[in-house]
């Protein structure tokens, strides 16, 4: 099987390789919780509002303030993209999201591309949490897709109207890739060897791999 990765896949693998195998190798089905369904609805409504100017429905209207980020950028001539999909080959060349040679896939919920600076956001409907891996991946991919000198990558915490994130200059790119590629290689090695060791954690409460000795679903 051809290897390709993304932030979501890396996150699952580093939480538990066995869960990764169940979800992405064996393609086991899992129940989608209400929080995930709500997050998808919010993302869809914001995408339509940014991309097509569709008014936000009453249920998600409290998050309409996020749409203003794109409107303000458009007003000064910046390129604005909703749910912008990016792909990279193994040698870090831009390609289509679903191209046959894609090695890394990433998507930003909102991208604002200027002449020398880009800003990319990921919407979050849950509680604010630590960790910038997703943002580092978004920033690195944006550098490869656009000739900008700085990328501001941020989480947009929709419930409390806050932002948190990272800022990278193009000179940071080699170090970013060195760290990210080393982590991706561990996933690739598991594919090559077929060894996906289980790691017990909080994720055992939601894991679709029912044969795992640590699985707690329904127990």
pLDDT of residue 129: 82
DSSP state of 3: -
Do the beta carbons of residue 143 and residue 106 sit within 8 Å? no
Supply 60's token pair: 């998600």
Length of the chain: 219
**Distance in angstroms (rounded) separating the CA atoms of residues 86 and 109:** 11
pLDDT of residue 107: 96
**Distance in angstroms (rounded) separating the CA atoms of residues 6 and 158:** 23
- How far from each other are the two terminal CA atoms of the chain, in whole angstroms? 33
**Distance in angstroms (rounded) separating the CA atoms of residues 95 and 108:** 16
Whether pTM > 0.95 for this model: the answer is no
- The three-class DSSP label of residue 87 is strand
Bigger pLDDT: 160 or 180? 180
pLDDT of residue 34: 86
The predicted-structure confidence for 25-49, as pLDDT tens digits, reads as follows: 999 987 778 888 999 999 999 999 9
The predicted-structure confidence for 152-179, as pLDDT tens digits, reads as follows: 999 999 988 999 999 999 999 999 999 9
Residue 63, pLDDT above cutoff 90: yes
pLDDT of residue 217: 64
Tell me the average pLDDT of the chain: 93
5-206 domain in CATH 3.90.320? yes
Supply 147's token pair: 């000739």
Indicate the pLDDT class of residue 127, thresholds 50, 70 and 90: confident
CA angle 67, 71, 73 (to 5 degrees): 120
- The CA-atom distances, in angstroms, between 76 and each of 79, 114, 115, 198 are 9, 10, 12, 51
Indicate the pLDDT class of residue 16, thresholds 50, 70 and 90: very high
Supply 170's token pair: 């193009």
- The CA-atom distances, in angstroms, between 111 and each of 104, 123, 137, 179 are 18, 11, 14, 24
- The three-class DSSP label of residue 90 is coil
């Amino acid at each position: 099987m051809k290897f390709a990765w993304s932030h979501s896949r890396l996150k699952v693998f580093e939480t538990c390789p066995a869960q990764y195998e169940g979800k992405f190798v064996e393609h086991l089905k899992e129940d989608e919780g209400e929080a995930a369904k709500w997050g998808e609805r919010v993302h869809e409504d914001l995408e339509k509002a940014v991309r097509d100017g569709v008014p936000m429905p009453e249920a998600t209207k409290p998050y309409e303030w996020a749409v203003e980020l794109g409107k303000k950028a458009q007003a000064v001539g910046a390129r604005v993209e909703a749910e912008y999909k990016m792909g990279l080959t193994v040698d870090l060349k831009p390609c289509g999201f679903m191209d046959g040679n894609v090695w890394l896939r990433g998507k930003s919920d909102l991208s604002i591309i200027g002449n020398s600076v880009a800003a990319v956001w990921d919407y979050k409907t849950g509680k604010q949490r630590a960790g910038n891996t997703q943002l580092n991946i978004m920033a690195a991919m944006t550098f490869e897709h656009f000739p900008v000198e700085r990328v501001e990558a941020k989480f947009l915490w929709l419930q409390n109207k806050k932002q948190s994130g990272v800022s990278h200059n193009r000179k940071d790119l080699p170090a970013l890739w060195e760290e990210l590629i080393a982590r991706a290689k561990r996933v690739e090695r598991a594919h090559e060897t077929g060894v996906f060791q289980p790691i017990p954690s909080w994720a055992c409460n939601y894991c679709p791999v029912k044969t795992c000795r640590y699985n707690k679903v329904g127990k």
